[in-house]
Structure formats: structure tokens, C-alpha cells
Structure 1
Amino acid sequence: MHVRHLTVADFRSYSGADLPLTKGVTTLVGLNGQGKTNLVEAIGYVATLSSHRVATDQPLVRFGAEQAIVRAAVVRDERETLVELEITPGRANRARLNRSPLTRPRDVLGTLRTVLFAPEDLALVKGDPSERRRFLDDLLVQRQPRWAGVRADYDKILKQRNALLKSAAPTLRRGRGGRRPVLAPGEDVESARASALSTLEVWDSHLAEVGAQLLYARLRLLRDLAPLLAQAYADVSAASQEAKATYRSSLHESVAAAIAEGEVPEVEELRQAVIDSLAQVRDNEIERGVTLVGPHRDDLVLTLGPLPAKGYASHGESWSFALGLRLGAYHLLRRDLGEDPVLILDDVFAELDAGRRERLAAMIVDCEQVLITAAVDEDVPEALSGATFDVTSGQVSARD
């Protein structure tokens, strides 16, 4: 799998740009702020419909423009597919495959797979649990695009349930202070409370049904990823300490302990565990007006040897761990798909010492397509020679 050509219009700093690409290594060289990362960000967006740098689409559209357009010609098994995306903040984005409109933009997912490593990935080790949850869920979708729908369904259910907890909290509280419940004409407190509890139980069921599916998929993914992470970390760091990732669940203690030991309960067992756990924390949820159990409250615990990576790993070890996660993801997708995803390394080599640079280069030199951004040529190991483009003030020019 590789990208043969990228075109952007009104994307980030570019009014327009064309980038012809080939198999092998391509390096974009330019000082910070010249626009090289914007180009690989556009390729990543085609694969995931999201940016590795920002959470919303608004910053992706050039200032003063109404929409951005990204086109990528993707080659798989000698067959080319044209992916076209229209990014319009405040309105529904649109997508086309081979000029044919799609009902939903997410229907393009799976056409291109990428694994992108960037300085922002240090947050996988040092940042909040949300960064690690996103890593797992993004990889799930790359592995099997249908999980994008499950993920979206869970987010909708969670939003609705939280809204119910906030709005119905005064009604649900019995014998407590705070705001008085708002009752319908002729309605008494007990009947209002029974109605609110009944509605909450319906949302409990929805959350458990979809949440169990998402949790099951995450656990299976982590089981497959864990040995690849350990190997990738060892290869890039040349260290003896083992890199491990374990899943910390918000479910009740007995199930959470089993999950932390690497067990993968069946979906029905997880569904019932969500229901039981929600019952245990119900009073606390009502008091706080927020859902306290489910995949959105979980974490991926990263350890080096006996110690947690967060707070104990050095800067170099943290970089190696983040690289190990991305390289592990790359090898997992390669194994599942039977082909190489596109590997993108955005300003990575400048952060690595000489030994890690050379070891990383040796690990990726045989990948079908590698896209690298660097401030100067000297940052990129000689083993990764290939096509080079200079990027200056949003202008892209190929070297002879």
C-alpha cells in the first residue's frame, strides 16, 4: 500500500499543493513552520478522518477559506483508488471514492492505512488516560473500520446518559439537599423518581451493550499488540527492561483484576459486569451527574520493568516507549492486512540519539512507503535515502 499522489487546497497554510510520491522513503525537509508537517497531516487525515495535532477540523482550513480539500491517490495490489475529502467546519464533511459520493465520510476508512509517529506522541506515555484510550480506539478502527460506528454509538449513548444524570439528579436524589425536583402538573416526587430511574436503567442497558463490545475489542487488540510492543521497544532502545501495557478497567474489582492479568472475558460477561458496576456507583453518579463506569473511564498502564513509565521513565525511554507503541501497531496492521501500511515519521529523528536513530532506520528500511519530515538533512540516517522535497514557506520543490 502506498500513496502515489497528494493534492491539498486551502488546507492549513496551503492555498494549494501537489506532492507526487513513490514507494520507498520520501523525506520532506524544511525549518519549523514552513509547512512540511501539514502535508503528512493531510495524508494521516485521509486514513483516519482526524488530525494528530488538533481535536477539531477548524484549524485544518486555511484562514479566510470556507473549506479545505484533500485528495490522495492510493495504490493497493496495483489498483489505484482516489480518495477526496471536503472539510467544512460547522457543516457535514463530504467524501468521494473514485469521484463517487459516499453517504458518510467514514465509509472511506480502510482505503488507506497509516501509522504516524510525531512529537505529540510523548503524551501516550506522559499524558492523560484519554491519550492512551484514543491510541487504542484509533488502532481498532485502522484494523477494522467497522469499529468507527461502534465508537460513535458509544459516544452518543454516553452523552445522552450524562445529560439525563444532570437533568434528573434532583428528582433521583432521595432525602438529600440541593435543588428541588421539577415536577409535571399532578406528578408527585415518588412517581417522578420512579420514572427517572426507569429511564436511567434503559440508558444503563444501552451503555452496557455497546460498551461491552468496545471493551472486548480493546482487550483483544491489546492481547495481540503486547508482544509486538515489547519487541519493538527492545529493538529501538537496546535496553533489557521489558515494556508492558496492561488494561486498567473501571469495572468492579473482581473483573478489573482479571482484566489486569490479561484475561479477555466474553462480551456477555463484560455486559453484565458493566450493569453490576453501574449499580454499585449509582448514588455517586447521581450526586456528580456523570457516568463513572465504562470504556471512557479506563486506562492503559505502561510499565518499564517493575516501574510505571509515567513519572519514572527518562526522556529517551519515554520516546522509545512511544515509538514502541507505534511500531507495534505498524507490525500488527502489517500482519493483519498482509500488506504494509504507510509509515509516517514527523520530526522524529531530531529527538533520538545516534544509536536509536540507526536502530530505527534498520527496522523500517524495508517498509513499502515511509514518509519523513526533518528540519535538516543531517537528522535522517543515510540508510533512509530516497526522494527528497524541500519545503519553504508553503512551497514544495523536488530535489534533482
Structure 2
Amino acid sequence: MYISQLSLTSFRSYAQADVHLVPGINVLVGPNGVGKTNIVESIGYLANLASHRVSNDAPLLNFGAERALIRGTLHRGNQQTQLEVEITSGKINRARINRANPVRAREILGMVRTVLFAPEDLALIKGDPSNRRRFLDELLVTLRPVEAGTKNDYERIVKQRNALLKSIRGKSKPTTSQENTLQAWDLQLAACGARLIRGRLNVLSLLRPYMQAAYADLADGAKEASAVYRSSLEGEVDDASLSARDLETLGQEEIQELLLTAIEANRSRELDRGISLFGPHRDDLVLTLGTAPAKGYASHGETWSFALSLRLAAYRVFGDDDPRPGSGPILILDDVFAELDATRRNRLAHIVAGAEQVLVTAAVVEDVPEALKGHFFQVSPGQVVDA
């Protein structure tokens, strides 16, 4: 797939920008801080309804603007679709498909698929668990857009349940009404949480072999990369140690029962702390190189290779999910080549060069490998022109 026409209104540093992208390789060149990343960020937003740089939408609006618009013409196989997302400060975002009436923004999830490589990817290895949970969840939602509802529902349930736990905290005993309400939230958290965990595990099973192969290619196979899902349930189940069982073999209903068991057995702990201690919001993806955890032990080069391997694996998973011609994801490489040594730079370039559309940002042309020197754009403050 590819985006041909991209139009931004009041998005980030652009009051108005119209960019005519081409299939194949597009290279955006300009000094740091002129808005290259804003362009590729907008395409990522069409795909995920989220930025890879900030956790909320407020910074995406041009200073003083009440709303921003991202419009793109998507080509997927023989189909052409006009997409528009309206980002409004303090309100629910809306979308349009082929200029029809506005719909909820999440109606367009899954239509655009992107795999983005960026310096922020180092947080996948070095950062806290929320980065790795987000990585799995974004893949899950892109592959199965209906799971966006599961994720949103789960976040709402945890928020409401935590509020109730905090209101009870410090009291000698919950009232009957509070206890009944808490039990109702327990059931919802377990049901929705089990679905989200099962979805993450499914994604991980697809991702893992490609991740291992990609790391071996990028790092000459010096160490083996691995990834294991670590649940907050480990060590909390009485009948058998969950850490000794393969969580990936469990079905959704089994996971749901384990969540309920852990919640009920630890009621006093949750009431003492005023937070929900079990569920996918407390889980992690543990990444290792050889026998050591990647976090804290991997070198800078190994960290980059691992992060790139996760993204390359996502690209392969998307390809398997929809192998039809013209349906592969758009690849975005945002200022990554300046961070890589020559060997990793060239290996990555040759791996991704065959994608239907690749977007590369760089401060100088010399940072772009020969294999990725395609259609050039010069970026200056508030302006993008053909070079």
C-alpha cells in the first residue's frame, strides 16, 4: 500500500502542507527541527490514531489552533480511498472515509498499516514495560481493529475499579454496596483482561520467529534474541506455579479464571494499596540476548539491533496477514541511519528497500544509504518541496 496525496492543516508546525508522495522510496531531507518527523508522524497517526512521540493529542495541534486535519489518499491493491482525521482539542476525534459523513475515528483503524522505525524505539528495549505493552497492543489493534474496543474498555474498567479501591482504602471494611460493586468490576476486569492478554500472546507467537531471524541477520547471530510474556499472575496461583506453565498454551477462559483467582486471593492487598494489582496493565514483555536481559546488559549497537528486529518482525507479520499484492505496510524510517554504524545501516536498507512505499527522513543526504536514495523532498520550516 502507499499514500499518494498527504494534506496537513494546523498539524504540528504546519499551518498548511500538501505533499505528493510516490510509490517506492521517498526521502525527506532537512536540518533537525524543521518538521520532517511531523510529516511521517501524520501518516503514523492515520494508521494508529496515536503519535509515536507523545502520549496525548494536544501537542499535535498547531499553536493556537482548535483542530488539526490529516488527509491522505490511500492506495491498497486496486482500491483507492480518501481518508481524513480531524483532531479536536478537548473533544472526540472524527474521521471521514471517501468524504462521507463523519464517523468515529477508530472506524479507520486497520485501513492504513505502517511500520515505523525511530530513535524512540530504543525505549522498547531500555524503557519501562508500558513501551512494550503499547508495542504489542498497537500490533494487535492493527491486525484486528475490533480489539481497539477491548483495549479501551479495559482501560476504563481499571480506571473505575481503581477509583473504587481508593475510595475504600483506609476503611476497616467495605460496605455491602461497595463489595458488590467491586465484585462486578472484578468480573469485568477478568473477562476483558483475559481477552487482551490472549490477543497479545497470539501476536507474540507470530512475532517471535521473525524477530529472532531479523536479529540474527542484523547482528551476525552472535547472540540469540528471545521474548517472553511475563504476566502479573506469575507466582500468584495456588494450585500450580504459573511461572512453570506455558501461559501461551492457555485459552481465554482459563486466563480469565486465573485472573479472578488472583484478585479474590489478594483482596486485602489491593484494598491496602488502592490499585488493581493483576491484569494486562501490569504485564511486561521480557527481552533477552543470550542468557542476559537486554535491558541493562545490551550494548548500544545490540539495543538498536533488537529494536530494529522487533519492527522488522512486525513488517513480516503484516505481510503474512494480508499477502495480496499492494497490501504490504508502509515503512517509515525516521532519522535512524545517523544512529547506526555502516554495517547495520546497509543491512537495514537492503531489507526494507523492496517495500511498496518507504519514507525516510534524514538531516543530510549522506546519511541515506545508496539502496534508499529515491524521490527526494527538501523540508524547510513550514514547507515541503520536491528537491
Question: Considering the TM-score relative to the shorter chain, is it more than 0.5?
Answer: yes
Query: Among 249, 265, 287, which residue is 2:231 paired with?
Result: 249
Q: What is the alpha-carbon distance in structure 1 between the residues aligned to residue 261 and residue 303 of structure 2? A: 37
Query: Which residue of structure 1 aligns with residue 210 of structure 2?
Result: 228
Residue 329, structure 1, aligned to residue 317, structure 2: no
The whole-number CA distance in structure 1 between the counterparts of 2:149 and 2:380 is 39
Pair 1:201 & 2:190 matched: no
Aligned to 2:110: 110
Q: Who is 2:381 aligned against?
A: 393
Q: TM-score, normalised by structure 2?
A: 0.96
Checking the alignment, whether the CA contact within 8 Å between 1:248 and 1:256 is kept in structure 2 is no
The 8 Å contact of residues 110 and 142 in structure 1, kept in 2 or not, is answered as: yes
Q: Whole-Å Cα distance in 1 between the matches of residues 273 and 117 of structure 2?
A: 37
Match of 1:10 in 2: 10
User: Is contact 1:85-1:94 (8 Å) kept?
Assistant: yes
Give the SS at the match of 1:213: helix
Distance 1:312 1:111 in 2: 38
Residue in structure 1 matched with residue 57 of structure 2 by the alignment: 57
| Partner Cα separation in structure 2 for residue 25 and residue 237 of structure 1 | 25
Q: Is 2:85–2:93's contact at 8 Å kept on the other side of the alignment?
A: yes
Aligned partner of 1:379 in structure 2 is 367
Alignment of 1:72-111 (within 5 A): 72-111=72-111
Number of residues paired by the alignment? 380
2:145 aligned residue: 145
Runs of 5+ consecutive residues of structure 2 not aligned to the other structure:
none
Amino acid at match of 1:107: E
Partner residue in 2 for 1:185 = none
- Separation (CA, whole Å) in 2 of partners of 1:193 and 1:392: 62
CA contact (8 A) 1:30 1:390 kept: yes
| TM-score calculated relative to the size of structure 1 | 0.93
Q: Secondary structure of the equivalent of 2:296?
A: coil
Q: CA–CA distance in 1 between the matches of 2:168 and 2:247?
A: 38
Q: Which has the larger radius of gyration?
A: 1
Say yes or no: does 1:275 pair with 2:257: no
Q: How far is the alpha carbon of 1:139 from its aligned partner?
A: 0.6
Matches within 5 A, 1:117-196: 117-171=117-171, 173-174=172-173, 193-196=175-178
The AA in structure 1 aligned to 2:101 is P
Equivalent position to 1:307, from 263, 284, 292: 292
CA contact (8 A) 2:328 2:355 kept: yes
**Which residues of structure 1 form unaligned runs of 5+?**
175-191
**1:73 & 1:201 partners in 2: Cα distance?**
48
- Mapped to 2, the partners of 1:123 and 1:368 lie a distance apart of 28
Question: Structure 2 vs 1, CA of residues 134 and 113 (structure 1 numbering), >3 Å: closer, same or farther?
Answer: same
Is the counterpart of residue 219 in structure 1 residue 201 in structure 2?
yes
| 1:350-379 Cα deviation digits (max 9, x unpaired) | 100000011111111111111000011111
Partner Cα separation in structure 2 for residue 22 and residue 150 of structure 1: 36
CA RMSD of aligned residues (A): 1.2
What does the per-residue CA deviation read over 1:146-166, in whole Å, with 9 as the maximum and x for residues that have no partner?
110100000011111001101
Distance 2:205 2:368 in 1: 33
CA distance in 1 between counterparts of 2:259 and 2:244 reads 14
Contact 2:233 2:258 in 1 (8 A): yes
In 1, the alpha carbon distance for the partners of 2:20 and 2:100 equals 23
* Distance (whole Å) between structure 1 residues aligned to residue 9 and residue 82 of structure 2: 16
Deviation of 1:64 after TM superposition, in Å, equals 1.4
Question: What residue is the counterpart of 1:342 in the other structure?
Answer: 330
Deviations 1:167-226 (A, max 9, x none): 12244x34xxxxxxxxxxxxxxxxx63332221111100000100000011111111111
Consecutive aligned runs of 4 or more in structure 1 exceeding 4 Å deviation: none
In structure 2, what is the equivalent of residue 296 of structure 1?
281
Query: C-alpha separation between the residues in 1 aligned to 2:54 and 2:305?
Result: 23
Paired AA for residue 309 in structure 1:
A
CA–CA distance in structure 1, aligned partners of residues 133 and 286 of structure 2: 11
Corresponding residue of 1:183 = none
Letter in 2 for 1:382: E
Structure-2 separation of matches of 1:265 and 1:288: 29
1:286 to 252, 271, 279: 271
SS of the equivalent of 1:38 reads helix
Choose which of 348, 354, 365 in structure 1 pairs with 2:342.
354
Q: Is 1:252–1:277's contact at 8 Å kept on the other side of the alignment?
A: no
Query: Which residue type is aligned with residue 158 of structure 2?
Result: L
Q: Is the 8 A contact 2:4 2:74 kept in 1?
A: yes
Q: Which amino acid aligns with 1:361?
A: A
Give SS of 2:103's match.
coil
Contact 2:96 2:103 in 1 (8 A): no
User: Which letter does structure 1 place at the counterpart of 2:356?
Assistant: E
Amino acid at match of 1:352: L
Q: Of 219, 229, 236, which residue of structure 2 is paired with 1:237? A: 219
Q: Quick one: structure 1 residues 110 and 102, their matched pair in 2 at CA, closer, same or farther if it must change by over 3 Å?
A: farther
